[in-house]
Amino acid sequence: MEKVRVEDAVGMVLCHDITEIVPGKFKGRAFAKGHVIQEEDIEKLLDLGKRHIYVWDLSKGYVHENDAALRMVQAAAGENIVFSEVKEGKIELRAACDGVLKINLDTLYAVNSDDEICFATIHGNKQVTKGKLLAATRVIPLAVKEEVLERFEKACRESKTPLVGVKPFRPAKIGVVTTGSEIVSGRIADQFGPVLEKKAAEVGATIMGQVFPGDEPEAIT
């Protein structure tokens, strides 16, 4: 990449996102990576405090931070993981379904041992819901050497399990035996069965049926 004066950047390709912050109103991307600088952009960039910007001129063997983030998440993501678009070099991983979050700690420690890699996650082996933010990753510099990404991808590829994934809950079947001749005879209504049915439904389980034995063996129905 090359650092140039904003006034000299017309026609050049921006190689990083530029953030705009308006207190209490807006915080986000004002200019996206890949934007071709126009004459009318100059005043806006100066208002954002940008006297110089970096334009696209990556040396051979380097990868831009946005492209690097995408490659990392593609290598690290296991089952039931979705990820956001890359913004300002960072990409987020979320749960695609309800389930249990699984993190391969050995791989996580290995990839984060590289000074130019940042891969952060929440704690694993816990219940997560669909859409839950699980992890985020980026490279530290604006551009990273190809060999850094290759080490990351190799660590993920050789791991026995994915760096991050979600194990979905499996539907369960529950059998219920409710005792009491007063229930089978209809003298009183069963109050316990509906409570169990409600609790089972909350975890995605199904009650297959109920049997109501009476006080004596011959009363079993």
Question: Which pLDDT value is given to residue 69?
Answer: 94
Helix (H, G, I), strand (E, B) or coil at 184: helix
Q: Are 66 and 60 in contact (CB under 8 A)?
A: no
Residue among 60, 27, 58, 30 at smallest CA distance from 43: 30
Residue with tokens 């050497």: 145
- The architecture of the domain spanning 62-168 is Alpha-Beta Complex (3.90)
CATH 3.90.1170.30 positions along the chain are 62-168
- Please write the tens of the pLDDT for every residue from 128-171: 999 999 999 999 987 888 999 999 999 999 999 999 999 998 87
Q: C-alpha dihedral over 36, 37, 39, 43, to 10 degrees?
A: 150
Residue 125: per-residue pLDDT: 96
pLDDT at site 218:
42
Residue ranges of the chain that CATH labels 3.90.105.10: 2-55
Is the CATH number of domain 2-55 3.90.105.10?
Answer: yes
H-type alpha helices, the chain: 41-47, 65-76, 105-112, 146-158, 181-184, 192-202
Averages of pLDDT over each 10 residues, the chain, 221 residues: 85 83 87 85 91 75 86 96 89 96 96 95 95 95 88 95 94 74 76 80 69 46 36
Rounded to whole angstroms, how far apart are CA atoms 5 and 9? Answer: 6
- Other Cβ atoms within 10 Å of 28 Cβ, number: 11
Cα atoms in the Cβ-side hemisphere of radius 13 Å centred on 111: 31
pLDDT score recorded for residue 198: 83
